[in-house]
A = this chain, B = another copy of it.
Amino acid sequence: MEKIGVGLIGTGFMGKAHALAWNSVRPVFGDVPDVRLVHLGEANEELAQSKAAEFGFKKASGDWKRVIADPEVDVVSITTPNKFHLEMARAALAAGKHVWCEKPMAPKLAEAEEMLAAARASGKAAVLGYNYIQNPAIRHIRKLLDEGVIGTVNHVRIEMDEDFLADPEAPFQQRHEAINGWGALDDFGVHPLSLLHTLFGRVAKVMCDMAKPYPTRKTPDGEREVEVFDIATILLRLENGASGYIAVSRTAWGRKGRIAIQIFGARGSILYDQEKMNEFQLYLTADNPTEQGFRTVLSAPHHKPYDRFIPAAGHNLGFNDLKVIEFRQLIARMQGEPSVSIGFEEGILIERTIAAMARSFQQSKWTEVA
């Protein structure tokens, strides 16, 4: 590949993040083809034109199908609401485009399975937007785990908490409808799972609880029952037998982007928190006994590919930089090279695990992940 033509559908939170990342991937990494922002699709022509100008796309359409049909487009970024993912991804793959689709795959497992089938049929790269796994700190943690630095891992805990639904006085909104899934479980749960999959592999079985902190919400006319669960807690076992849990909440006042990971092994422990994404903590029994302690390791150029952004340690990457790394990995995948990424093949495992969690909750019992 000498150049990569990019199509982008959607320009919200993630759409803008994609635009910024596509824009930066070449100047940051250098070793990639010429990336061209070709065609931007939005809900209507006017918005599409305005956003294309802002983000630097050459063409704009009020119909996403025109983006997919554009022969200059090699890869399509899909950042629309989840319910559109299947239709768009299938069309893009059928049109011979690589696909980059924001997580999760689709509201229903069956749809996600269809997406996987479409990806397999196309032979194109089909990747999901799990950006947290791209953090150099997380990558380095994986390296340490692979090298056995903390020995065999026997216990893992992940909490993911934010507070954007924590206000009980805030009115009923779309997010509170069951049509969007289970709530925190699928909205947040996929992120801890993406990290578990990246660091350890499959989850074997789960026992899930969910809770509704605020069972009703105000509407203009009165109040309405909240149909989703803003808190989920899941006991689990990894395939290697290690125990652990995932806890997720969208009503945790004060937590803004917390993804706190605790990993305990036979010879040490590792801690990480996404709110402090430029560091991790490491405890090693190999250290001198009277000076053992969790050391706070700041991200630095030797934690690849931090060096592509900044040549000095401790200077901080940002959330948007993770997307740039993600696209570098996507390009690797498009080029048939090894990559750290969650393609539809891996993503379906996450979706199936979520489905098993939901069944576990409904049946109130431990459930094997298919």
Contacts A27-B55, A317-B319 aside, 14 further interface pairs with beta carbons under 8 A come to A13-B312, A24-B24, A27-B54, A27-B56, A144-B291, A209-B243, A213-B266, A245-B247, A254-B268, A254-B269, A255-B269, A290-B303, A316-B316, A316-B318
How distant is the Cα of A264 from the Cα of B30 in the complex, in angstroms? 38
Which chain B residue lies CB-closest to A34?
B53
Cβ of B282 and Cβ of A293 under 8 Å apart?
A: yes
How distant is the Cα of A290 from the Cα of B149 in the complex, in angstroms? 12
CB neighbours of A316 from chain B (8 A): 257, 275, 277-278, 316-319
CB neighbours of A276 from chain B (8 A): 276
CB-defined A-B contacts under 8 Å, sample of 26: A13-B310, A19-B27, A24-B24, A26-B56, A34-B53, A155-B231, A231-B243, A253-B267, A253-B268, A254-B269, A254-B292, A254-B293, A256-B298, A281-B293, A283-B295, A287-B295, A290-B302, A292-B297, A295-B295, A295-B296, A296-B296, A309-B318, A316-B319, A317-B319, A318-B321, A364-B366
A154-188 near B? 1/0 per residue, CB < 8 Å:
11010100101011100000000000000000000
Interface residue ranges of A207-241 to B (CB < 8 Å) = 207, 209, 211, 213-214, 231, 233, 235
A320-334 near B? 1/0 per residue, CB < 8 Å:
110000000000000
Copies in the complex: 4
**Residue A84 interfacial (CB < 8 Å):** no
**Residue A314 interfacial (CB < 8 Å):** yes
A116-159 near B? 1/0 per residue, CB < 8 Å:
00000000000000000000000010001000011100110101
CB neighbours of A245 from chain B (8 A): 233, 245, 247
How distant is the Cα of A255 from the Cα of B297 in the complex, in angstroms? 11
How distant is the Cα of A209 from the Cα of B317 in the complex, in angstroms? 34
Asked, given contacts A20-B24, A30-B54, whether A252 binds B233 with beta carbons under 8 Å apart, the answer is: no
Report which of B243, B298, B366 forms a contact with A233, defined as CB distance below 8 A.
B243
Q: Pick the most buried of A164, A252, A253: most chain B CB atoms within 10 A of its CB.
A: A253
